[in-house]
Amino acid sequence: MPSKKYKLILITTLVLSASFFSCTTTKTADTTRITPQKKITPTIINHGNRDEKNISLTFDADMTASMQKKLFNKQIKSLYDKKITDTLEQTGTPATIFITGLWAQTYPEETKSISQNPLYEIANHSLTHSGFTKNCYGLTIVTDKNKELIETQKILNNLTGITPKYFRFPGGCYEQKDLEIVNNAELQAIGWDAISGDAFQPNSQKIINNVLNRTTNGSIIVMHLNGAHNAPATSKALPTIIKKLKEKGYTFVKLSELLKDQDSNAIFDFQKK
Ligand SMILES: [Zn+2]
């Protein structure tokens, strides 16, 4: 039987060892925390902060190979409705424009002009607007997902000097593993929570109602920049949408402002510092 003295020494030793190890563990944890995080969980962001009345208008500038062909053959007059940007400019409304590589190549001057206007922020909407999954609103299935992202980054950067940080899947179609492809290209995938339903919709009142009913704090509203055949009533609906949402107390901001606290590019920026 150990004496009381031995028991005391034994307990003291155990307590000291325990506190030594806990200090060591804490130090290790601290060191881990300051090491830049390499693996970022790929996500798609569909809205901003629900506690603030900031919202974002986003416009997709779609262009598939077949749309481009129809434009060149003069079967379609235009795939850019300038009345949309005119309204945004007249009302001083910021917006984020998701541009496909084919649209940028077809409208290089317009792409430059949009990128230079401080009201706008440009983003990546793939190269050929092909579906990342089967059965995506009849879109042709994509052949090279990486190329769709990287090539468009190059086209937009060459034209504007800007490297976009947001990407939107054509038709919003994707599989979980596609988010990793987006993430690996140093892009953040962006969806929406307020769909305007403006694609092929000739009735502007329907678009207005959809947006007003679906918009809430932090909303990302999705519309199209194409006009004519693809989004014939968007420009007619837009002035009312802007007016009514302002009356409801919302403030329009660009996506980077809406998402300043939550997008993973903020982490990329942090890593680069
Ligand atoms: Zn699109």
pLDDT digits (tens, 9 = 90+) for 51-61: 999 999 999 99
The mean pLDDT value for 134-149 works out to 96
The mean pLDDT value for 194-198 works out to 98
195: alpha, beta or left, given left = phi > 0 and alpha = psi -120 to 50? Answer: beta
Task: Give the distance (Å) from ligand 1 centre to CA of residue 21.
Answer: 56
Query: Residue 40: its pLDDT value, please?
Result: 55
Task: Give the distance (Å) from ligand 1 centre to CA of residue 2.
Answer: 79
Question: Which pTM value belongs to this model?
Answer: 0.82
Query: Residue 147: its pLDDT value, please?
Result: 98
* Domain 47-272 homologous superfamily, CATH: Glycoside hydrolase/deacetylase (3.20.20.370)
Task: Give the distance (Å) from ligand 1 centre to CA of residue 207.
Answer: 16
Task: Give the distance (Å) from ligand 1 centre to CA of residue 142.
Answer: 14
Q: What span, in angstroms and rounded, lies between the C-alpha atoms of 121 and 36?
A: 28
Task: Give the distance (Å) from ligand 1 centre to CA of residue 115.
Answer: 18
The mean pLDDT value for 58-68 works out to 97
Q: Is the pLDDT of residue 30 over 70?
A: no
Q: What are the residue ranges spanned by the domains of the chain?
A: 47-272
Report residues near ion ligand 1: CB below 5 Å: 60, 62, 170
Q: How confident is the model at residue 49 (pLDDT cuts 50, 70, 90)?
A: very high
Task: Give the distance (Å) from ligand 1 centre to CA of residue 104.
Answer: 14
Task: Give the distance (Å) from ligand 1 centre to CA of residue 99.
Answer: 9
Task: Give the distance (Å) from ligand 1 centre to CA of residue 10.
Answer: 71
